[in-house]
Amino acid sequence: MRLRNLLLLASLCVATLAAHAQLTTYSDPATGVTFQYPSVWKKVPKPDTMTQPMILMAGINPVIDFEFSPKGNLYEKTNLVGLDFLYYTAPAANAAACSKIVTDAAGSDSKPNTKTIHGVAFQHIQTSNSGMCHEMSADIYSIYRNGACYLFEEDFMNVCAGVVDGTRGLSAAETKALQRHLDAITQSIVFAPVK
């Protein structure tokens, strides 16, 4: 019963922190893309070796990658490896070529749908990758504009619960709170006019 109460308290703390997270705005002056991310996330030159972003594995380097690590916070003793939000641009001849970049990276089993963000329609694909007790789920959003393919990737990585001594599996509430952080970044994407 005590463990259950501690987990409930941790989940409430997570929800409170999520609701009050300080945000920082990223702006790409070359393309007019802006989005907001939690200030505690770090800009990294490349994803952690434990993470395997789908678009990166397809050979396209991100413009920027923001990463959340469980080290030093409430998630340190969980099976969370980390969260990544990556933004890419790639040349593309048309919308079909842009779509092909994503479907090639995500695999043929992934079924695209349309998601609208601030009145702009994005192609969305949800996919996952697992093996050797590592699991990654990814949401990839893409749009073709002005001769380029814009790609945004949300990655959620963890290992099997109990694989690392002294760790526990994420609770459903913790998983939901972490996913909300990723989704909130995507929901903040805006294409401003290029100056």
Q: Are 44 and 67 in contact (CB under 8 A)?
A: yes
Q: How far apart are the first and last CA of the chain?
A: 58
149-192 residue pLDDT tens: 999 999 999 988 777 788 899 999 999 999 999 999 999 999 98
Q: Is the pLDDT of residue 90 over 80?
A: yes
Beta bridge partners of 67: 42, 84
Distance between CA atoms of 92 and 20, rounded to whole angstroms?
39
Q: Are 189 and 152 in contact (CB under 8 A)?
A: yes
DSSP class per residue in 126-190: EEEEEETTEEEEEEEEEEEETTEEEEEEEEEEEE-TTSSTT-BPPPHHHHHHHHHHHHHHHHT-E
Q: Is the pLDDT of residue 23 over 60?
A: yes
Domain boundaries, the chain: 2-191
Q: Are 160 and 62 in contact (CB under 8 A)?
A: no
CATH number of 2-191: 3.40.1000.10
How far apart, in Å, are the Cα atoms of 33 and each of 4, 37, 83, 132? Answer: 43, 13, 21, 36
Amino acid at 15: A
102-150 residue pLDDT tens: 998 888 677 899 999 999 999 999 988 877 778 889 999 999 998 999 9
